[in-house]
Amino acid sequence: MSETLEGGCQCGAVRYRIAGRRPPVYACHCRECQKQSASGFGLSLPVRGRDFEVAGVTARWERVSDGGGRTSCFFCPNCGSRLYHVSSVTPDRVTVKGGSLDDTGWLRPVAHIWVSRKQPWVVLDPAVPALEKQPEDLAGWRRMLRGEG
């Protein structure tokens, strides 16, 4: 399905568009995502950088990721909403934070990662793949996101 998805921060100062195919959605239950979202888990949509367009001024905070790379975390400097991440390991890709989309009604995770850190009240669909930690095999992980794994 091809359509343009739109989203933005809580105050509306930063807006973005995602072109191309509708990206897959996965949920990460790690402590970093719990902190980042100030909630139970993070929702991520991996998007090609060339399909992602931002309007408005963003601020950036950087952290060292588990794989040893650096993750640049972009957010609205006015309201603080976290909007997307870019990893130094995959600089041509953007990970959009799912809850910032205008329409969140279609979001269904195709995979869960870091379920070893999951909040006990979050009950997962046994039909959806769930990894104890982060994916080790990047190619296999991408197949899983495409629903081929």
Work out how close the CB of 4 gets to Zn ion at its nearest, in angstroms, rounded to a whole number: 21
Selected binder of Zn ion within 6, 11, 122, 140 (CB under 5 A): 11
Residue 130 near Zn ion by CB under 5 A: no
Work out how close the CB of 28 gets to Zn ion at its nearest, in angstroms, rounded to a whole number: 3
DSSP letters, 85-107, are EEESSSTTEEEEEGGGBS--TT-
13: Cβ contacts below 8 Å, ≥ 6 apart: 56, 57, 76, 78, 79
* Interface stretch with Zn ion, choices 12-20, 97-105, 117-125, 138-146 (CB under 5 A): 12-20
Which residue ranges make up the site for Zn ion (CB under 5 A)?
Answer: 9, 11, 13, 28, 30, 32-33, 76, 78-79
